[in-house]
Structure 1
Amino acid sequence: MTPELDVSPEAFPHRPPPDLDSPDLLVDHDWRAFTTVECMKNHWARPGWPEGFRAYYWMLTFPDASELMSRARQCQDALAHLGMDRVPSDGLHVTMPRVGSTDLVSRDQLRLLADLAQEMALTAFEIAAHPMAGSRGAVRFTLAPWSPLIRLHAALSELGKHANVPGGKPTAAFRPHLGVQYSNRECPAAPVIESVARLRTLEPVPLKISSVELVELWRTTDPSPAYRWRVVRSVPLCPQG
């Protein structure tokens, strides 16, 4: 059973979509929310990331997804005039539950968390990355369907409770997405929305989700602002069926 999502002022979009599985409705819901944004924010100015901060997260990563990387570069090239910070090809990811900052989570807790995930025998699934929408601080792919992502988020969050880690936002506020570039300043959103609209006819990219990664995540500014990580444990997902 898929957990229900709630209205959340911290999430974007604030309201969950009317359907968690229909690609058309998910794409439309993300786009409609993006068109209401009036001002782009500086993604890197968000609170909670002081200098030198590192944290453990669960993430989906795509080191071998050449089609996704190619489509992301295509979109980034088309939006280069906006002056945003590109997500590197090897930095494409979907953020899942936060585990906690590195100074609050022990190695024993990490080991227990990863072991619990492996024992849980979570199931692999397929989604697609649909060009293109955005938020107040980024331009991003819409993912569809949401249901398997939400179930995975909820399962990993529950494991975090058993491992007694700090955790992060609840699954009810989870809004799956895959960023391709981050806004690095405050500016009117209208030119961004207009440019992104030209990419919405591109075909979606299929993605097979066969593992979930427990990572140590940090920010870097060399050679440009980006998220980087090291994989603590890659947990394979059970084949479908």
Structure 2
Amino acid sequence: MRAVPLDDPRAFPPAPPADLDDAEAIAANDWEAFRQVAQMRDHWSRPGWYPGRRAYYWMLTFPDEPELLAMAHRCQSAIAPLGLDLIPDDGLHITLTRIAEAGTPRARLDALAEHAAEQIPTAFELSFGPLAGSPGAVRFSVVPWRPLVELHAVLAHANLRAGVDVGTPTARFRPHLGIAYSNRVRPAAPIIETVAILREAEPVLTQVVSVELVELRREASTYKWDVLHRVPLRQAATPDR
């Protein structure tokens, strides 16, 4: 399922990297976009997230990745004096796409998981880092983009087949993993300056072997979720000996 991210002022970064597989190009593109941010916004003022709202999403979660957690902890300790809302260990995730509001019949969600499993791509490796950001968060660059973009396109098609929301178009999808959210409007320069110091950390590798269909909610200044379906990615074929 072929799809590519395109320039879009509603996305961040507005322009995707020139090469979806090149780590330097992706990191440089993320960083240059963040360096241009003049003002941070309040992540929690995003429209649509009223008290008590629950919604279904496709996400990648990372509950058992000690090296990733350790890198996140080191960076969070350094940015803690800035007063951002730090994302807890069980809150680290990559949002892929929205599915529907809570109340969608469970049978439809079950069918959605089945549609996704029929088309699911092969497991892949991701690298996290260096640190960058957006107007609403401090976050790691994620490399490479290509398998994530292809997974997003598969899930969007599965959503369409199941009759739920297609969510963010793949053309506007921008992979990232946040470690802290901005909780008020304020100048971005002090945050950018601090993040710049932390960009020398060695990236961390992890294997992506499944994608999760979750029911997402907000509790105070963090996101929580319940996993409804964990769809395994295909295993790469082993060559005949």
Tell me the TM-score range normalised by the shorter chain.
Answer: over 0.9
Classify the secondary structure of the residue corresponding to 1:79. Answer: helix
For residue 227 of structure 1, what is the aligned residue in structure 2?
223
Q: Deviation string for 1:48-78 (max 9, x for gaps)?
A: 2111111100000011101101110100001
1:1-241 equivalent positions in 2, closer than 5 A: 2-103=2-103, 105-221=104-220, 225-241=221-237
| SS of corresponding position for 1:118 | helix
Percent identity (aligned): 51
Partner secondary structure for residue 214 of structure 1? strand
Q: CA deviation at 1:213?
A: 0.3
Mind listing any 5+ residue stretches in structure 1 that lack a counterpart?
none
Aligned partner of 2:224: which letter?
Answer: R
- Counterpart secondary structure, 1:134: strand
Amino acid at match of 1:147: R
CA deviation after TM superposition for structure 1 residue 167, in Å: 2.7
Q: Distance in 2 between matches of 1:70 and 1:132?
A: 14
In 2: Cα distance, 1:111 partner to 1:197 partner: 44
Aligned length: 237
d(CA) in 1 for partners of 2:86, 2:205: 21
**C-alpha distance in structure 2 between counterparts of 1:121 and 1:94, whole Å:** 17
Contact 1:27 1:142 in 2 (8 A): yes
Provide the TM-score with structure 2 as the length reference: 0.96
Please state how far the C-alpha of 1:121 moved relative to its aligned partner: 4.1
| One-letter amino acid of the counterpart of residue 134, structure 1 | G
Give the letter for the 1:183 counterpart: S
C-alpha displacement of 1:171 = 0.5
Deviates more, 1:46-55 or 1:155-164: 46-55
CA contact (8 A) 1:53 1:218 kept: yes
Counterpart CA distance in 1 for 2:213 and 2:88 is 20
Task: Say whether the 8 Å CA contact 1:127–1:209 is kept in structure 2.
Answer: yes
The normalised TM-score by structure 1 is 0.96
| Cα distance, 1:131 vs structure 2 | 2.2
Is contact 1:7–1:16 with CA below 8 Å preserved after alignment?
A: yes
Structure 1 distance, partners of 2:236, 2:129, is: 23
Give structure 2 stretches of 5+ with no counterpart. Answer: none
Offset at 1:17?
Answer: 1.1
Distance 1:23 1:208 in 2: 16
Give the residue type in structure 2 aligned to 1:80.
A
Structure 1 residue 117: Cα displacement: 1.6
1:2 and 1:147 in contact (8 A); partners too: no
C-alpha RMSD over aligned residues: 1.0
Distance in 1 (CA, whole Å) between partners of 2:229 and 2:134 is 30
